[in-house]
Amino acid sequence: MGSFTTTDGTDIHYKDWGSGQPVIFSHGWPLNADAWDNQLRVVAENGFRAIAHDRRGHGRSGQPWQGNDMDTYADDLAQLIEHLGLEDVILVGHSTGGGEVARYIGRHGTGRVAKAVLLGAVPPQMLKTDANPDGLPIDVFDGIRAGVAADRSQFYQELSEAFFGANRPGSTVSQGTRDAFWLMSMQAGSKAAYDCIKQFSETDFTEDLKRIDVPTLIAHGDDDQIVPIGASAHKSAQLVKDATLKVYPGAPHGLTGDYEQAFTNDLIAFLKG
């Protein structure tokens, strides 16, 4: 693990595997870079430089009181790219990480970006509003806040069920995978985890998506119970100029087993294409 310190004094930890064209992975809430380990290994084995960081407040990165907002997440990503001196970067984001990728491009452009991948990503906006009638009502996110505030350990254990589709007939997700989700979630500071709920649910990424002018793979499971596909991937694919939409029938938010293998294969093909 490497690390660097942001301009506001926050330590950001990252893993950096392999060599070649850089691919940076941004993780979902409330996880950390380890959530991408399977893809990091395969990407590095295929001749790319695979990099993943722990978002501030998550994993092994610092836990400041301030800066738990989407603009700062995007600026931290920009500082990571600058710290490593990267060019021709491929950005990959899952869930909240997809929002981070979109906001990075919205704020910093694509001068250093070659391609983007949004997997189960929260853009354009999760919250139901007058302008976004297909979103989820605020009560859903208030419930998440209440769960994190009251007993986050139990909440994360229960959240893993819908996250991986363990409540669906025929699910093959292991208890070990659900335990790993709980462990990573508990490594996120409670302040950062709580603040981030507002960020992934209420942020409107519409204008950020319109600024993406590089080839973009938008991948999503059509049985995603966390980020429903109708209000996310289908709309994002219409807003991004050069988007390819890949839908995985029956796939949940967190991909495991055959679903994960299918995405990894599509990812490698997209990186090499």
Residue reference for tokens 């989407």: 70
For residue 193, give the amino acid letter. A
Contact 56, 12 (CB under 8 A): yes
Can 185 be counted among the known catalytic residues? no
Single out the catalytic residue among 185, 224, 232, 236. 224
Active site residue 174: no
* Choice among 95, 160, 185, 201 that is catalytic: 95
Angle between helices 37-45 and 257-272 (to 10 degrees): 40
Q: Is 254 helix (H, G, I), strand (E, B) or coil?
A: coil
Alpha helical stretches, state H, the chain: 37-45, 70-84, 96-108, 138-163, 175-186, 190-202, 206-210, 233-239, 257-272
Task: Identify the bridge partners of residue 113 per DSSP, sorted by sequence position.
Answer: 89
Residues annotated as part of the active site: 95, 224, 253
